[in-house]
Structure 1
Amino acid sequence: MAYTDDDVTEMQDRCDDWLEREGALTNELFRLQLQVPRAREMMTHGVCRRLSDLKHGLQRVFEVLPPQEAEPTREAIWDATAFLQSFIINVFGVMDNLAWLWCLEADVRGPNGRPLHRSRIGLTPDNEDLRGSLSARTKAYLTGTDAWFGYLEEYRHSLAHRIPLYIPPKQLDDAAAAEFARLEAQVGGPDWDWGRWPEVIAAQRRLGVFEPVMMHSFGEGARPVRFHGQMICDFATVIEVAEHVLADLQGRAAPADRAG
Protein backbone atom coordinates (compact mmCIF):
# COMPACT_ATOMS: atom_id res chain seq x y z
CA MET A 1 0.00 0.00 0.00
CA ALA A 2 1.43 3.36 -1.05
CA TYR A 3 2.15 6.10 1.45
CA THR A 4 -0.17 9.12 1.36
CA ASP A 5 1.11 12.69 1.27
CA ASP A 6 0.08 13.01 4.93
CA ASP A 7 2.07 9.87 5.81
CA VAL A 8 5.18 11.28 4.16
CA THR A 9 4.79 14.68 5.84
CA GLU A 10 4.38 13.05 9.24
CA MET A 11 7.44 10.84 8.72
CA GLN A 12 9.55 13.81 7.66
CA ASP A 13 8.41 15.87 10.64
CA ARG A 14 9.19 13.02 13.04
CA CYS A 15 12.55 12.46 11.35
CA ASP A 16 13.46 16.16 11.68
CA ASP A 17 12.47 16.13 15.36
CA TRP A 18 14.66 13.13 16.15
CA LEU A 19 17.60 14.48 14.15
CA GLU A 20 17.43 17.67 16.22
CA ARG A 21 17.24 15.63 19.42
CA GLU A 22 20.26 13.60 18.34
CA GLY A 23 22.28 16.82 18.00
CA ALA A 24 21.42 17.85 21.56
CA LEU A 25 22.22 14.35 22.84
CA THR A 26 25.64 14.29 21.17
CA ASN A 27 26.51 17.68 22.64
CA GLU A 28 25.62 16.43 26.13
CA LEU A 29 27.63 13.25 25.66
CA PHE A 30 30.76 15.24 24.78
CA ARG A 31 30.26 17.34 27.93
CA LEU A 32 30.41 14.28 30.18
CA GLN A 33 33.27 14.28 32.67
CA LEU A 34 34.21 10.61 32.40
CA GLN A 35 36.84 9.19 34.71
CA VAL A 36 37.77 6.04 32.77
CA PRO A 37 39.79 6.62 29.56
CA ARG A 38 38.36 3.54 27.86
CA ALA A 39 34.84 4.77 28.65
CA ARG A 40 35.71 8.10 26.99
CA GLU A 41 36.88 6.21 23.90
CA MET A 42 33.70 4.10 23.89
CA MET A 43 31.61 7.26 24.05
CA THR A 44 33.56 9.28 21.46
CA HIS A 45 34.50 6.66 18.90
CA GLY A 46 31.68 4.22 19.61
CA VAL A 47 28.41 5.92 20.59
CA CYS A 48 28.92 9.32 18.93
CA ARG A 49 30.49 7.99 15.73
CA ARG A 50 27.68 5.48 15.30
CA LEU A 51 25.06 8.17 15.96
CA SER A 52 26.59 10.17 13.11
CA ASP A 53 26.57 7.10 10.84
CA LEU A 54 22.93 6.37 11.73
CA LYS A 55 21.91 9.93 10.96
CA HIS A 56 23.65 9.81 7.58
CA GLY A 57 22.15 6.42 6.69
CA LEU A 58 18.65 7.53 7.62
CA GLN A 59 18.88 10.67 5.51
CA ARG A 60 20.41 8.87 2.51
CA VAL A 61 17.72 6.16 2.40
CA PHE A 62 15.03 8.84 2.28
CA GLU A 63 16.98 10.58 -0.50
CA VAL A 64 17.80 7.64 -2.79
CA LEU A 65 14.52 5.78 -2.25
CA PRO A 66 11.77 8.21 -1.13
CA PRO A 67 8.71 6.72 0.61
CA GLN A 68 6.41 7.42 -2.36
CA GLU A 69 8.69 6.00 -5.06
CA ALA A 70 6.63 3.52 -7.09
CA GLU A 71 9.23 2.31 -9.61
CA PRO A 72 12.73 2.68 -8.18
CA THR A 73 15.74 1.81 -10.31
CA ARG A 74 17.77 -1.23 -9.42
CA GLU A 75 20.65 1.12 -8.50
CA ALA A 76 18.41 2.99 -6.05
CA ILE A 77 17.35 -0.30 -4.45
CA TRP A 78 20.96 -1.46 -4.18
CA ASP A 79 22.07 1.85 -2.65
CA ALA A 80 19.18 1.87 -0.16
CA THR A 81 19.92 -1.76 0.74
CA ALA A 82 23.56 -0.94 1.50
CA PHE A 83 22.55 1.96 3.74
CA LEU A 84 19.91 -0.20 5.45
CA GLN A 85 22.41 -2.96 6.20
CA SER A 86 24.87 -0.45 7.65
CA PHE A 87 22.05 1.15 9.64
CA ILE A 88 20.94 -2.12 11.28
CA ILE A 89 24.50 -3.09 12.19
CA ASN A 90 25.13 0.33 13.73
CA VAL A 91 21.85 0.32 15.67
CA PHE A 92 22.92 -2.97 17.23
CA GLY A 93 26.46 -1.67 17.72
CA VAL A 94 25.48 1.54 19.48
CA MET A 95 23.43 -0.47 21.97
CA ASP A 96 26.57 -2.42 22.84
CA ASN A 97 28.62 0.80 22.96
CA LEU A 98 26.18 2.28 25.48
CA ALA A 99 26.35 -0.89 27.57
CA TRP A 100 30.16 -0.79 27.56
CA LEU A 101 30.19 2.93 28.35
CA TRP A 102 28.05 2.40 31.44
CA CYS A 103 29.83 -0.80 32.48
CA LEU A 104 33.29 0.79 32.32
CA GLU A 105 32.43 4.11 33.94
CA ALA A 106 30.20 2.62 36.65
CA ASP A 107 32.55 -0.35 37.21
CA VAL A 108 29.69 -2.84 36.98
CA ARG A 109 30.56 -6.25 38.43
CA GLY A 110 28.90 -9.62 38.69
CA PRO A 111 27.50 -11.26 41.84
CA ASN A 112 30.99 -12.69 42.49
CA GLY A 113 32.50 -9.20 42.59
CA ARG A 114 34.50 -9.75 39.43
CA PRO A 115 34.24 -7.60 36.27
CA LEU A 116 31.57 -8.77 33.85
CA HIS A 117 32.71 -11.03 31.04
CA ARG A 118 32.38 -9.30 27.67
CA SER A 119 29.59 -11.74 26.73
CA ARG A 120 27.52 -10.34 29.63
CA ILE A 121 27.88 -6.69 28.63
CA GLY A 122 24.78 -5.56 26.74
CA LEU A 123 21.36 -4.00 27.16
CA THR A 124 19.27 -6.93 25.89
CA PRO A 125 16.92 -8.72 28.35
CA ASP A 126 19.39 -11.55 29.00
CA ASN A 127 22.05 -9.15 30.33
CA GLU A 128 20.53 -9.09 33.80
CA ASP A 129 23.62 -7.99 35.74
CA LEU A 130 24.21 -4.90 33.64
CA ARG A 131 20.52 -3.95 33.39
CA GLY A 132 20.22 -4.41 37.14
CA SER A 133 22.97 -1.85 37.75
CA LEU A 134 21.09 0.96 36.00
CA SER A 135 18.58 3.31 37.59
CA ALA A 136 14.99 2.14 38.16
CA ARG A 137 13.81 4.60 35.50
CA THR A 138 16.23 3.24 32.90
CA LYS A 139 15.47 -0.38 33.78
CA ALA A 140 11.76 0.28 33.35
CA TYR A 141 12.35 1.89 29.98
CA LEU A 142 14.51 -1.00 28.77
CA THR A 143 11.89 -3.52 29.86
CA GLY A 144 9.46 -1.73 27.58
CA THR A 145 11.85 -2.22 24.65
CA ASP A 146 12.23 -6.01 25.00
CA ALA A 147 10.14 -6.73 21.88
CA TRP A 148 12.15 -4.15 19.91
CA PHE A 149 15.41 -5.81 20.97
CA GLY A 150 13.96 -9.11 19.71
CA TYR A 151 13.30 -7.60 16.27
CA LEU A 152 16.75 -5.99 16.22
CA GLU A 153 18.57 -9.20 17.13
CA GLU A 154 16.63 -11.16 14.50
CA TYR A 155 17.64 -8.79 11.71
CA ARG A 156 21.19 -8.19 12.92
CA HIS A 157 22.01 -11.88 13.39
CA SER A 158 20.54 -12.84 10.04
CA LEU A 159 22.43 -9.98 8.35
CA ALA A 160 25.74 -10.89 9.98
CA HIS A 161 25.53 -14.68 9.91
CA ARG A 162 22.80 -15.99 7.61
CA ILE A 163 20.63 -14.16 5.03
CA PRO A 164 21.40 -10.46 4.55
CA LEU A 165 18.46 -8.11 4.62
CA TYR A 166 17.33 -6.87 1.22
CA ILE A 167 14.59 -4.85 -0.46
CA PRO A 168 12.45 -7.05 -2.75
CA PRO A 169 12.11 -5.33 -6.14
CA LYS A 170 8.43 -6.34 -6.40
CA GLN A 171 5.62 -7.79 -4.30
CA LEU A 172 3.48 -10.41 -6.08
CA ASP A 173 -0.18 -11.19 -5.47
CA ASP A 174 -1.46 -14.69 -6.20
CA ALA A 175 -2.11 -14.02 -9.89
CA ALA A 176 1.28 -12.41 -10.43
CA ALA A 177 3.01 -15.21 -8.51
CA ALA A 178 1.32 -17.81 -10.73
CA GLU A 179 2.41 -15.98 -13.87
CA PHE A 180 5.96 -15.66 -12.51
CA ALA A 181 6.02 -19.43 -11.93
CA ARG A 182 4.61 -20.09 -15.41
CA LEU A 183 7.38 -18.02 -16.98
CA GLU A 184 9.98 -19.71 -14.81
CA ALA A 185 8.76 -23.15 -15.90
CA GLN A 186 9.51 -22.29 -19.52
CA VAL A 187 13.21 -21.97 -18.83
CA GLY A 188 15.51 -24.92 -19.48
CA GLY A 189 14.97 -28.29 -21.07
CA PRO A 190 16.59 -29.78 -24.16
CA ASP A 191 14.64 -27.58 -26.61
CA TRP A 192 14.86 -24.30 -24.71
CA ASP A 193 16.05 -21.32 -26.75
CA TRP A 194 18.38 -19.43 -24.42
CA GLY A 195 18.02 -16.43 -26.68
CA ARG A 196 14.60 -15.94 -25.04
CA TRP A 197 16.08 -15.66 -21.56
CA PRO A 198 16.14 -11.80 -21.55
CA GLU A 199 12.52 -11.83 -22.73
CA VAL A 200 11.44 -14.02 -19.81
CA ILE A 201 13.39 -11.93 -17.30
CA ALA A 202 11.83 -8.74 -18.64
CA ALA A 203 8.34 -10.27 -18.39
CA GLN A 204 8.94 -11.35 -14.80
CA ARG A 205 10.21 -7.89 -13.83
CA ARG A 206 7.00 -6.30 -15.11
CA LEU A 207 4.93 -8.36 -12.68
CA GLY A 208 3.85 -7.10 -9.28
CA VAL A 209 4.24 -3.73 -7.58
CA PHE A 210 7.03 -2.19 -5.53
CA GLU A 211 6.54 -1.94 -1.78
CA PRO A 212 9.15 -0.19 0.44
CA VAL A 213 9.80 -3.20 2.68
CA MET A 214 12.89 -5.03 3.87
CA MET A 215 13.25 -8.76 4.43
CA HIS A 216 15.83 -11.35 5.28
CA SER A 217 14.78 -15.02 4.95
CA PHE A 218 11.36 -16.26 3.86
CA GLY A 219 12.50 -19.71 4.96
CA GLU A 220 12.91 -18.48 8.54
CA GLY A 221 9.44 -16.99 8.57
CA ALA A 222 10.63 -13.37 8.60
CA ARG A 223 7.94 -10.82 7.91
CA PRO A 224 8.36 -7.85 5.55
CA VAL A 225 8.95 -4.59 7.42
CA ARG A 226 8.22 -1.16 5.93
CA PHE A 227 11.64 0.31 6.38
CA HIS A 228 11.13 4.09 6.22
CA GLY A 229 9.01 4.21 9.35
CA GLN A 230 11.04 1.44 11.00
CA MET A 231 14.28 3.37 10.55
CA ILE A 232 12.76 6.40 12.27
CA CYS A 233 11.50 4.15 15.08
CA ASP A 234 14.93 2.53 15.46
CA PHE A 235 16.69 5.91 15.45
CA ALA A 236 14.23 7.25 18.04
CA THR A 237 14.75 4.21 20.28
CA VAL A 238 18.53 4.62 20.09
CA ILE A 239 18.20 8.27 21.09
CA GLU A 240 15.90 7.48 24.02
CA VAL A 241 18.10 4.64 25.32
CA ALA A 242 21.16 6.88 25.06
CA GLU A 243 19.34 9.68 26.89
CA HIS A 244 18.54 7.31 29.75
CA VAL A 245 22.14 6.07 30.01
CA LEU A 246 23.37 9.66 29.79
CA ALA A 247 21.09 10.66 32.69
CA ASP A 248 22.42 7.76 34.76
CA LEU A 249 26.00 8.81 34.04
CA GLN A 250 25.23 12.42 34.91
CA GLY A 251 23.63 11.20 38.12
CA ARG A 252 26.94 9.65 39.13
CA ALA A 253 28.71 13.02 38.96
CA ALA A 254 29.40 14.95 42.14
CA PRO A 255 27.26 18.07 42.71
CA ALA A 256 30.29 20.28 42.04
CA ASP A 257 30.86 18.59 38.71
CA ARG A 258 27.20 18.98 37.70
CA ALA A 259 27.29 22.65 38.64
CA GLY A 260 30.12 23.18 36.16
Structure 2
Amino acid sequence: MYHDSSLIDLSESRIKWTSSANDLLILFIDRRYKTNSASEYTRHGLSRRIQALVHSTDRVFATISPSSEESPTEEIRHDAEAFIQSFLVNVYGAIDNMARIWCVETDLRNAKGVPISDGMIGFGPKNVRVRESLPDELREYLINCDPWFAYLENYRHAVAHRIPVYIPPGTLTDQEAEEYRHIEDEIGKAVRERNLELNGKLTAEQKALGTFKPLMMHSYGENARPVMIHGQMISDLATVVEIGEYLLKALPNP
Protein backbone atom coordinates (compact mmCIF):
# COMPACT_ATOMS: atom_id res chain seq x y z
CA MET A 1 0.00 0.00 0.00
CA TYR A 2 2.10 2.94 1.29
CA HIS A 3 5.55 3.25 2.85
CA ASP A 4 5.69 4.31 6.50
CA SER A 5 6.95 7.80 5.60
CA SER A 6 4.07 8.22 3.14
CA LEU A 7 1.56 7.17 5.81
CA ILE A 8 2.90 9.86 8.14
CA ASP A 9 2.71 12.48 5.38
CA LEU A 10 -0.85 11.45 4.53
CA SER A 11 -1.96 11.63 8.15
CA GLU A 12 -0.36 15.03 8.77
CA SER A 13 -1.62 16.46 5.47
CA ARG A 14 -5.14 15.22 6.07
CA ILE A 15 -5.25 16.88 9.50
CA LYS A 16 -3.79 20.10 8.10
CA TRP A 17 -6.13 20.47 5.14
CA THR A 18 -9.37 19.33 6.77
CA SER A 19 -8.67 21.84 9.54
CA SER A 20 -7.88 24.55 6.99
CA ALA A 21 -11.08 23.72 5.09
CA ASN A 22 -13.15 24.17 8.24
CA ASP A 23 -11.39 27.47 8.95
CA LEU A 24 -12.07 28.65 5.41
CA LEU A 25 -15.75 27.77 5.77
CA ILE A 26 -16.03 30.03 8.83
CA LEU A 27 -14.23 32.90 7.08
CA PHE A 28 -16.60 32.77 4.11
CA ILE A 29 -19.70 32.57 6.30
CA ASP A 30 -18.58 35.42 8.59
CA ARG A 31 -17.87 37.71 5.67
CA ARG A 32 -20.38 40.40 4.70
CA TYR A 33 -21.41 40.48 1.04
CA LYS A 34 -22.67 43.20 -1.27
CA THR A 35 -25.23 40.94 -2.94
CA ASN A 36 -27.82 38.47 -1.71
CA SER A 37 -26.71 36.06 -4.42
CA ALA A 38 -23.16 35.90 -3.06
CA SER A 39 -24.51 35.29 0.42
CA GLU A 40 -26.71 32.48 -0.93
CA TYR A 41 -23.86 30.86 -2.85
CA THR A 42 -21.75 31.00 0.30
CA ARG A 43 -24.16 29.84 2.97
CA HIS A 44 -26.09 27.23 1.00
CA GLY A 45 -23.56 26.34 -1.70
CA LEU A 46 -19.92 26.65 -0.78
CA SER A 47 -20.32 25.99 2.94
CA ARG A 48 -22.27 22.77 2.34
CA ARG A 49 -19.76 21.63 -0.24
CA ILE A 50 -16.78 22.22 2.03
CA GLN A 51 -18.49 20.23 4.77
CA ALA A 52 -19.18 17.46 2.25
CA LEU A 53 -15.53 17.45 1.14
CA VAL A 54 -14.27 17.06 4.70
CA HIS A 55 -16.85 14.37 5.46
CA SER A 56 -16.12 12.43 2.27
CA THR A 57 -12.40 12.57 2.94
CA ASP A 58 -12.87 11.28 6.48
CA ARG A 59 -15.16 8.47 5.29
CA VAL A 60 -12.84 7.27 2.52
CA PHE A 61 -9.85 7.22 4.89
CA ALA A 62 -11.96 5.27 7.38
CA THR A 63 -13.40 2.91 4.77
CA ILE A 64 -10.11 2.12 3.01
CA SER A 65 -7.38 2.89 5.50
CA PRO A 66 -4.03 3.82 3.93
CA SER A 67 -2.30 1.66 6.55
CA SER A 68 -4.35 -1.48 5.84
CA GLU A 69 -2.56 -4.36 4.13
CA GLU A 70 -5.74 -6.28 3.39
CA SER A 71 -7.70 -6.07 0.17
CA PRO A 72 -11.12 -4.47 0.83
CA THR A 73 -14.30 -6.37 0.13
CA GLU A 74 -16.50 -5.47 -2.80
CA GLU A 75 -18.97 -3.78 -0.44
CA ILE A 76 -16.22 -1.61 1.07
CA ARG A 77 -14.97 -0.63 -2.38
CA HIS A 78 -18.50 0.34 -3.43
CA ASP A 79 -18.89 2.49 -0.30
CA ALA A 80 -15.60 4.24 -1.02
CA GLU A 81 -16.56 4.76 -4.68
CA ALA A 82 -19.79 6.47 -3.60
CA PHE A 83 -17.94 8.85 -1.28
CA ILE A 84 -15.31 9.61 -3.93
CA GLN A 85 -17.97 10.44 -6.51
CA SER A 86 -19.63 12.81 -4.06
CA PHE A 87 -16.22 14.31 -3.34
CA LEU A 88 -15.41 14.93 -7.01
CA VAL A 89 -18.76 16.55 -7.73
CA ASN A 90 -18.40 18.82 -4.71
CA VAL A 91 -14.81 19.81 -5.55
CA TYR A 92 -16.06 20.94 -8.96
CA GLY A 93 -19.10 22.59 -7.38
CA ALA A 94 -17.04 24.41 -4.74
CA ILE A 95 -14.85 25.99 -7.43
CA ASP A 96 -17.98 26.94 -9.38
CA ASN A 97 -19.55 28.48 -6.26
CA MET A 98 -16.45 30.59 -5.65
CA ALA A 99 -16.39 31.77 -9.26
CA ARG A 100 -20.05 32.76 -8.98
CA ILE A 101 -19.39 34.67 -5.77
CA TRP A 102 -16.68 36.61 -7.58
CA CYS A 103 -18.87 37.35 -10.60
CA VAL A 104 -21.87 38.66 -8.66
CA GLU A 105 -19.82 40.62 -6.12
CA THR A 106 -17.85 42.38 -8.87
CA ASP A 107 -20.85 42.64 -11.24
CA LEU A 108 -18.77 41.05 -13.97
CA ARG A 109 -20.07 41.73 -17.49
CA ASN A 110 -19.16 40.66 -21.00
CA ALA A 111 -17.91 42.90 -23.82
CA LYS A 112 -21.50 44.03 -24.54
CA GLY A 113 -22.05 45.16 -20.97
CA VAL A 114 -24.38 42.26 -20.16
CA PRO A 115 -23.88 40.24 -16.94
CA ILE A 116 -21.74 37.23 -17.74
CA SER A 117 -23.85 34.16 -18.52
CA ASP A 118 -23.94 31.06 -16.32
CA GLY A 119 -22.14 28.99 -18.95
CA MET A 120 -19.17 31.38 -18.88
CA ILE A 121 -18.72 31.32 -15.11
CA GLY A 122 -15.85 29.32 -13.67
CA PHE A 123 -12.17 29.51 -12.79
CA GLY A 124 -10.90 26.96 -15.34
CA PRO A 125 -8.79 27.65 -18.46
CA LYS A 126 -11.91 27.99 -20.64
CA ASN A 127 -13.35 30.76 -18.45
CA VAL A 128 -11.26 33.45 -20.10
CA ARG A 129 -13.43 36.45 -19.21
CA VAL A 130 -13.56 35.51 -15.54
CA ARG A 131 -9.83 34.93 -15.33
CA GLU A 132 -9.14 38.25 -17.03
CA SER A 133 -11.09 40.01 -14.31
CA LEU A 134 -9.10 38.49 -11.42
CA PRO A 135 -6.17 40.07 -9.55
CA ASP A 136 -2.77 38.89 -10.78
CA GLU A 137 -2.05 36.71 -7.74
CA LEU A 138 -5.21 34.65 -8.04
CA ARG A 139 -5.06 34.47 -11.83
CA GLU A 140 -1.46 33.22 -11.75
CA TYR A 141 -2.35 30.61 -9.15
CA LEU A 142 -5.20 29.32 -11.34
CA ILE A 143 -2.96 29.20 -14.41
CA ASN A 144 -0.51 27.04 -12.46
CA CYS A 145 -3.46 24.78 -11.63
CA ASP A 146 -4.37 24.17 -15.30
CA PRO A 147 -3.17 20.52 -15.24
CA TRP A 148 -5.24 19.99 -12.10
CA PHE A 149 -8.32 21.47 -13.78
CA ALA A 150 -7.80 19.03 -16.68
CA TYR A 151 -7.75 16.09 -14.26
CA LEU A 152 -10.78 17.39 -12.36
CA GLU A 153 -12.90 17.96 -15.45
CA ASN A 154 -11.92 14.55 -16.82
CA TYR A 155 -13.11 12.75 -13.70
CA ARG A 156 -16.08 14.98 -12.85
CA HIS A 157 -17.53 14.88 -16.36
CA ALA A 158 -17.04 11.12 -16.56
CA VAL A 159 -18.87 10.66 -13.24
CA ALA A 160 -21.70 13.01 -14.19
CA HIS A 161 -22.21 11.98 -17.79
CA ARG A 162 -20.41 8.78 -18.76
CA ILE A 163 -18.55 6.35 -16.47
CA PRO A 164 -18.61 6.28 -12.64
CA VAL A 165 -15.55 6.02 -10.44
CA TYR A 166 -14.16 2.52 -10.12
CA ILE A 167 -11.70 1.15 -7.56
CA PRO A 168 -10.10 -1.94 -9.15
CA PRO A 169 -9.99 -4.96 -6.82
CA GLY A 170 -6.42 -5.59 -7.95
CA THR A 171 -3.59 -4.17 -10.02
CA LEU A 172 -2.42 -6.61 -12.67
CA THR A 173 0.98 -7.52 -14.01
CA ASP A 174 1.27 -7.89 -17.79
CA GLN A 175 0.85 -11.67 -17.44
CA GLU A 176 -2.14 -11.25 -15.13
CA ALA A 177 -3.68 -8.71 -17.52
CA GLU A 178 -3.47 -11.25 -20.34
CA GLU A 179 -5.07 -13.88 -18.11
CA TYR A 180 -7.77 -11.37 -17.11
CA ARG A 181 -8.68 -10.73 -20.75
CA HIS A 182 -8.73 -14.46 -21.47
CA ILE A 183 -11.10 -15.09 -18.56
CA GLU A 184 -13.23 -12.15 -19.69
CA ASP A 185 -13.71 -13.85 -23.05
CA GLU A 186 -14.62 -17.12 -21.32
CA ILE A 187 -17.11 -15.32 -19.08
CA GLY A 188 -18.76 -13.89 -22.19
CA LYS A 189 -19.15 -17.39 -23.61
CA ALA A 190 -20.56 -18.69 -20.32
CA VAL A 191 -23.12 -15.86 -20.20
CA ARG A 192 -24.22 -16.52 -23.79
CA GLU A 193 -24.60 -20.22 -22.98
CA ARG A 194 -26.52 -19.45 -19.77
CA ASN A 195 -23.93 -21.45 -17.80
CA LEU A 196 -24.30 -19.75 -14.43
CA GLU A 197 -22.08 -22.21 -12.57
CA LEU A 198 -19.16 -21.68 -14.95
CA ASN A 199 -19.77 -17.95 -14.96
CA GLY A 200 -19.49 -17.85 -11.18
CA LYS A 201 -16.31 -19.92 -11.20
CA LEU A 202 -14.64 -17.78 -13.87
CA THR A 203 -15.66 -14.53 -12.14
CA ALA A 204 -14.09 -15.76 -8.89
CA GLU A 205 -10.87 -16.64 -10.75
CA GLN A 206 -10.81 -13.20 -12.33
CA LYS A 207 -11.30 -11.42 -9.02
CA ALA A 208 -8.43 -13.37 -7.48
CA LEU A 209 -5.96 -11.90 -9.94
CA GLY A 210 -3.74 -8.95 -9.02
CA THR A 211 -2.68 -7.08 -5.90
CA PHE A 212 -4.86 -4.37 -4.41
CA LYS A 213 -3.63 -0.79 -4.56
CA PRO A 214 -5.77 2.20 -3.50
CA LEU A 215 -6.29 3.50 -7.02
CA MET A 216 -9.33 4.99 -8.72
CA MET A 217 -10.18 5.44 -12.37
CA HIS A 218 -13.23 5.58 -14.61
CA SER A 219 -13.27 4.18 -18.15
CA TYR A 220 -10.70 1.70 -19.45
CA GLY A 221 -11.48 2.96 -22.93
CA GLU A 222 -11.09 6.74 -22.49
CA ASN A 223 -7.41 6.78 -21.54
CA ALA A 224 -8.36 7.60 -17.96
CA ARG A 225 -5.34 8.19 -15.77
CA PRO A 226 -5.50 6.06 -12.61
CA VAL A 227 -4.69 8.09 -9.49
CA MET A 228 -3.90 7.18 -5.90
CA ILE A 229 -7.06 7.83 -3.90
CA HIS A 230 -5.82 9.22 -0.59
CA GLY A 231 -3.13 11.55 -1.88
CA GLN A 232 -5.36 12.87 -4.66
CA MET A 233 -8.21 13.67 -2.27
CA ILE A 234 -5.88 15.63 0.00
CA SER A 235 -4.44 17.46 -3.01
CA ASP A 236 -7.93 18.31 -4.27
CA LEU A 237 -9.04 19.56 -0.86
CA ALA A 238 -5.87 21.64 -0.52
CA THR A 239 -6.45 23.22 -3.93
CA VAL A 240 -10.02 24.19 -3.04
CA VAL A 241 -8.78 25.74 0.22
CA GLU A 242 -5.99 27.70 -1.44
CA ILE A 243 -8.27 29.05 -4.19
CA GLY A 244 -10.71 30.08 -1.46
CA GLU A 245 -7.98 31.87 0.49
CA TYR A 246 -6.87 33.79 -2.60
CA LEU A 247 -10.48 34.67 -3.40
CA LEU A 248 -11.16 36.07 0.07
CA LYS A 249 -8.22 38.46 -0.38
CA ALA A 250 -9.42 39.45 -3.85
CA LEU A 251 -13.09 40.12 -3.12
CA PRO A 252 -14.08 43.81 -2.89
CA ASN A 253 -15.17 45.18 0.46
CA PRO A 254 -18.97 45.32 0.88
Shared fold, TM over 0.5:
yes
The ranges of structure 1 where at least 4 consecutive aligned residues each deviate by more than 6 angstroms after the TM superposition are 189-192
> Which aligned pairs between 1:111-150 and structure 2 lie closer than 5 A?
111-150=111-150
Q: What is the rounded CA distance, in whole Å, between the counterparts of 1:59 and 1:198 in structure 2?
A: 35
In structure 1, the residue matched to 2:20 is 21
CA drift at 1:3: 0.5
In structure 1, the residue matched to 2:42 is 43
Unaligned runs of 5+ in 2: none
Q: What is the rounded CA distance, in whole Å, between the counterparts of 2:160 and 2:198 in structure 1?
A: 37
Identity %: 40
Q: What is the rounded CA distance, in whole Å, between the counterparts of 1:192 and 1:124 in structure 2?
A: 49
Name which of 199, 202, 206 aligns with 1:200.
202
> Which aligned pairs between 1:45-84 and structure 2 lie closer than 5 A?
45-69=44-68, 70-84=70-84
Moved more, 62-71 or 45-54: 62-71
CA drift at 1:245: 0.8
Residue identity opposite 1:227 in structure 2: I
Q: What is the rounded CA distance, in whole Å, between the counterparts of 2:134 and 2:185 in structure 1?
A: 59
Check whether the contact 2:110–2:129 (CA below 8 A) recurs between aligned residues.
yes
Query: In structure 2, do the counterparts of structure 1 residues 185 and 40 end up closer, same or farther at CA, with 3 Å as the change threshold?
Result: closer
Structure 1 residue matching 2:71: 3-state secondary structure: coil
CA drift at 1:6: 1.6
Query: In structure 2, do the counterparts of structure 1 residues 173 and 137 end up closer, same or farther at CA, with 3 Å as the change threshold?
Result: same
Residue identity opposite 1:173 in structure 2: T
Structure 1 residue matching 2:98: 3-state secondary structure: helix
Aligned length: 251
In structure 2, the residue matched to 1:11 is 10
Q: Is 1:217 aligned to residue 214 of structure 2?
A: no
Moved more, 171-180 or 16-25: 171-180
In structure 2, the residue matched to 1:257 is none
- Cα RMSD after superposing both structures: 1.8
Structure 2 residue matching 1:71: 3-state secondary structure: coil
TM-score normalised by L of structure 1: 0.91
